[in-house]
Structure 1
């Protein structure tokens, strides 16, 4: 208790010194809390049903692919992974369920995408309106194939005509009625039952069946569902089967929250350790005096640990509260980017906040104890001498730890160069950059000392300020290293995060540009009827329909494209190196070289896979190609895939050298929302959106920037006595500021070299594994966009506390430090 009381008094009289540690810990707690909220939402997030709100029980397809793994110890483990598309079920199951015990009524429904002038909507048959339920506010139910009922949100009136784009083509429908209701997050159109089944294009199948039990009875559906791929969903599980994007977003949030949270924690530990090390380094004279008046090493460690605990608890509590707001902001950004659906609500519980508080307290206490270990063990006389003139020797435990961190970074770099999937390489990429930064922070005084020696000559070009700056860098290598570390972290993390995305995007666009033979791209969603009509037009040589989906081989997901084979060689060159695309059909596929290596297959082999809606298929490998980044791991037949995706409409690649852009646009003018697209826009539409990663990892960059401000601010503020002495011996304010500016630029130069080197090592390994080329793509302007704000941040964080310190009279500043 006495030690805690002393720690509180120490903090009260050293508020400025502990402000940096407080801010760092607060930001760390906020970041970990927000990541924990994302992770918990992925694990426990639920979606309330909208379309199926009126059906107590919903029977729908199993949205997972399952696998039983047999372990070496004789035990088995069941694993399941979600599929990409909606799993449909046989319509004959409707009659079987109707005969089940306790069932009063069953209602089958089909769901398919439609496009209107108001945007995207979901189409259904009017016979399934009871699942919500929907009722009519005006007009009547659709009786003919040319009639449609719109929801209350559409703003249309009965009797008006709508041009609607459906998978079967574009057609004009008459509005026969308007519903009284509208769903919160989806537009709804109802067609005549027979017309809806025709437009869905799934004969003999339905997307779901609503089951209404008899009053007071629980329906017994187990016997009816036995031996089928259908499952029973009740309660909030109905929302999961209604909103498949929510379930897919949950999986993304688990991986994103885990990766971001883990990276945040590692960065926080590194930053917090550096902050406390700098704080204790600045208090060496105080610690030496305590040792001189008989304070034991144990008492000093308890004192410094108590200070860390008090600071961490206060900062952790405030940061956890701020982290909740940050979690909501992150979710709003992900919703705006389309990565998370609006109906997936953020889970708010005390667990992320408590975890962040615990992690912050442990990180602060451990960092303080480790940083204080050597300072507390030194003898009193040695402590006073070292406080007056800090030793240049690196402690051997720190040297050993630095060498081990370097070895670990080398191993991670080698491992990263062998990883060829984004799921495996993404976490290792961040960990590799962090491990190199840890090595730099541990061995920092060594490169700082060497760099200071190299910078002595150019600095001395400025006679007064340069001479003083060079002298300070030579004698203050430990202080220089403490400043270089956060700057190095900022440059390394920013470059790694930004240029991982540019490297992948550039490689994909380069492959698409090299493989594109089409003259035009039509999109974004073109029905098959438009493609068939174009093939017969004069001047059109070939039309390739393209769909993008994902399939699973075992439990592993592979990105796939489906293409029509007629005229494919005229529109697309996949870079075939074995086999032929002429053999591509409903029973075969082409495989990228990367995927073929992972699957261990070659031309002529067969692969058992699961299509996007859970349908199993066994396909023969017809060809191997090189351009997998641009065109996907697998290329399948359009005829095989189209009946197994939610939206069978996709872009068209058109070879029509005899037609102008205006002439081609006129040919598809009758199809709503279809335009002639640029090739680059088509590539961007089919590529994963990197903005989600930028938003998520941008928080790490922001945290690193805060660490830079804290470290530079603490380092400069601690030198008020030194600056006052310079003023007393005749140095002007302008000269003092110039000295500090030169020192900051020197630290920035060292950090830029080290941070860029770390990023290059990491990016080279990443590019080698993911693209097959050791050359990452680093846009010069983007790189300058990293360095310029970093330089401005470093100079500002140095100048502001220096100007505040120089406002004091020199005698007062020296007296206040005694």
Structure 2
């Protein structure tokens, strides 16, 4: 019965699972590609392997795989939240007719598992192509043996599917708490009620994550110059942990951080600015859901770029460790991978959030607002959301790169690549505002009277 319900929900609400499918597809493809690299030097003479520059294929694949799984879990948790919101009322109704929390969790795990199976084959094919392209790039830079080759991807694809399945089902179990923790009546009421304040458990988890991030920053900052690679690993892990804290505390942080930005909008644009600010501050959960992926994208990207700039600036004499040209290239490749996950999370989140507001847009138009007025308000909301995501991501970046710079150079002031950071800011704006406007335009295609009663 649970399997049948899971299949029917996927068929009824494909848009709700699109973001999850995209994130899981990228996860399967990336883990397949990295797993395929592990066996690429099989049969290559040891002397040839010793001549390569850099850490070697095994360490490269391991480092990339570790960060991929962590970020994939983070993004899957976020996108699963939207899949849950699209069917929240259905799940709440199931609980009122005696479905147990265990059955709800099983249903959500089945949905996540089916999504993984749907993307497994295309993900494996994409991963195989990516492995060959990445290996060729490594060989071009003398970072892999010339005779290394990707013989086959099936074993790696099976492992990638299993790992992604574990990530997805774990994220589904955690997400299910939103509908299984309240009583059935409270869950049903929440499906149409206002945004609740973050619970004690969520805030406690955010505090623990913040403390863990602080501990990792201390570990990174106290590494000696000879262990700058370890400082880099601890810094990147601290970035993920601190962004997790931001995500957990988002419903509390977002309205607080929006207040000063909103006041500026109200002053400059008394009409649309007031409405945009009121919409954002009135729905803390919706605002936090939009801000978190932007903070993820900008925080990870800016941290990686600043770490690379700091490491290159610190290089004096023969480069080694994190200051080598090969390591800098690897960080750029890792930045591209993390940026892809962040972009998927941002796009799918904004599209889902905007699509959920069809009835709100219809009511505004029935009350006299024109389509152009609604789009102007949404453009301001999107700009404010992007600014808030950049602010939170920037704060995480400032904390983490200060620790890394202390370890790498002895100076807490990092070397900030201004051009790269400007591109990151521009990317956040270009991903946010046009996406929201395009999704809103699609949501307002139908006559408002047809949507207002839904």
TM-score in terms of structure 1 length: 0.53
Q: Is the 8 A contact 2:347 2:435 kept in 1?
A: yes
**Measured at CA, do residues 315 and 390 of structure 1 come closer, stay the same or move farther in structure 2, by a change above 3 Å?**
farther
SS in 2 for 1:393: coil
Alignment-derived partner of residue 196 in structure 2: 392
Q: Is the 8 A contact 2:10 2:111 kept in 1?
A: yes
Residues 1:453 and 2:259 aligned together: yes
Alignment-derived partner of residue 339 in structure 2: 701
Alignment-derived partner of residue 424 in structure 1: 230
The one of 416, 437, 442 equivalent to 1:778 is: 416
Q: Is the 8 A contact 2:19 2:344 kept in 1?
A: no
Q: Is the 8 A contact 2:218 2:403 kept in 1?
A: yes
Q: Is the 8 A contact 2:48 2:145 kept in 1?
A: no
Alignment-derived partner of residue 467 in structure 1: 274
Q: Is the 8 A contact 2:27 2:68 kept in 1?
A: yes
Alignment-derived partner of residue 353 in structure 1: 157
| Structure 2: unaligned runs, 5 residues or longer | none
| Structure with a larger share of its residues in strand | 1
Shift of 1:690: 2.0
Measure the CA separation in 2 of the matches of 1:262 and 1:397.
27
Alignment-derived partner of residue 283 in structure 2: 476
Measure the CA separation in 1 of the matches of 2:129 and 2:136.
11
**Measured at CA, do residues 501 and 377 of structure 1 come closer, stay the same or move farther in structure 2, by a change above 3 Å?**
closer
SS in 1 for 2:369: coil
The one of 309, 329, 332 equivalent to 1:691 is: 329
The one of 338, 348, 351 equivalent to 1:710 is: 348
Q: Is the 8 A contact 2:209 2:241 kept in 1?
A: yes
List, as ranges, runs of 4+ consecutive aligned residues in structure 1 with deviation greater than 4 Å. Answer: 686-689
Residues 667-693 of structure 1, C-alpha deviations (whole Å, 9 max, x = no match):
xxxxxxxxxxxxxxxxx9x85562233
The one of 59, 84, 88 equivalent to 1:280 is: 84
Alignment-derived partner of residue 126 in structure 2: 322
Alignment-derived partner of residue 389 in structure 2: 751
Residues 1:46 and 2:61 aligned together: no
Residues 580-629 of structure 1, C-alpha deviations (whole Å, 9 max, x = no match):
xxxxxxxxxxxxxxxxxxxxxxxxxxxxxxxxxxxxxxxxxxxxxxxxx3
Shift of 1:757: 1.1
Alignment-derived partner of residue 406 in structure 1: 210
Q: Is the 8 A contact 1:339 1:692 kept in 2?
A: no
**Measured at CA, do residues 632 and 331 of structure 1 come closer, stay the same or move farther in structure 2, by a change above 3 Å?**
closer
SS in 2 for 1:388: coil
Measure the CA separation in 2 of the matches of 1:39 and 1:764.
34
SS in 1 for 2:222: coil
Measure the CA separation in 1 of the matches of 2:121 and 2:173.
21
Measure the CA separation in 1 of the matches of 2:420 and 2:110.
44
**Measured at CA, do residues 401 and 418 of structure 1 come closer, stay the same or move farther in structure 2, by a change above 3 Å?**
same
Alignment-derived partner of residue 236 in structure 1: none
Shift of 1:507: 2.5
Measure the CA separation in 2 of the matches of 1:501 and 1:806.
44
Residues 153-176 of structure 1, C-alpha deviations (whole Å, 9 max, x = no match):
xxxxxxxxxxxxxxxxxxxxxxxx
The one of 229, 241, 256 equivalent to 1:435 is: 241
**Measured at CA, do residues 380 and 253 of structure 1 come closer, stay the same or move farther in structure 2, by a change above 3 Å?**
same
TM-score in terms of structure 2 length: 0.93
**Measured at CA, do residues 697 and 35 of structure 1 come closer, stay the same or move farther in structure 2, by a change above 3 Å?**
farther
Alignment-derived partner of residue 103 in structure 1: none
Shift of 1:801: 1.4
Shift of 1:708: 0.9
Q: Is the 8 A contact 1:28 1:265 kept in 2?
A: yes
Measure the CA separation in 1 of the matches of 2:242 and 2:38.
27
Residues 1:271 and 2:75 aligned together: yes
Q: Is the 8 A contact 2:49 2:144 kept in 1?
A: no
| RMSD of aligned alpha carbons | 2.1
1:372-771 superposed matches below 5 A:
372-419=176-223, 420=225, 421-461=227-267, 462-508=269-315, 629-631=316-318, 688=326, 690-771=328-409
Q: Is the 8 A contact 2:13 2:86 kept in 1?
A: no
**Measured at CA, do residues 712 and 507 of structure 1 come closer, stay the same or move farther in structure 2, by a change above 3 Å?**
same
1:237-276 superposed matches below 5 A:
239-241=45-47, 244-246=50-52, 251-276=55-80
